[in-house]
Amino acid sequence: GTLLAGLGCELGHIFPVFYGLRGGKGILSGGTLVLLLNWRVAAVAWALFLLLWLTTRYVSLASITATCSAPITVYFVYGHNWLYTGLCLAVAALVVWCHRENIQRLLHGTEKKFKWQRDGRFIRSLTDSVLNFEERCRKQAEALERARLLNEQAEQLKREADKIANP
């Protein structure tokens, strides 16, 4: 049941109904899924991802390799269970299929490498995101307070109306 629910989450991430079936490539949702299902499978996949990402700086290569390692790891961790391995293999095949353009670029040497931002754009962007989040939270808190006050006023008016109707 858990694996089928995870498969549903992965399919929903890659093919979201509300966005015309155009979603992500399944890496973060799949990485989170293996972390929730079994820490040993996640440790192998995440370690491979980090190793390849840090050494090659190709996020797509690291993602695809980590994804392809999951069915093999599942096969050994779950005692040669073909159901778990098959479901994991289906998810891995789907994720690799979603990365077919990245694979082509890797083969042709045109895939972009990950670059750390040295001019501070990343930090400024992160800071702006945090400040925007704080502003949205403040506005939401103000709206909730206004709603609470309106609710209190409505309750007071209801009590007064009840007093007038039932003297």
Q: What are 109-126's pLDDT values in tens digits? A: 998 888 776 666 666 666
CA distance 16 to 24: 9
Q: Which of 120, 34, 118, 114 is closest to 77 using CA atoms?
A: 34
Highest-pLDDT range among 66-70, 127-131, 144-148, 162-166: 66-70
The residue written with tokens 């945090």 in the block is: 130
> Residue length, the chain?
167
What are the angstrom distances between the C-alpha of 136 and each of 31, 49, 78?
29, 34, 45
| pLDDT tens digit sequence for 61-91 | 999 999 999 999 999 998 888 888 998 898 8
The pLDDT value recorded for residue 118 is 63
pLDDT at residue 123 in the model: 64
Supply the pTM of this predicted model.
Answer: 0.64
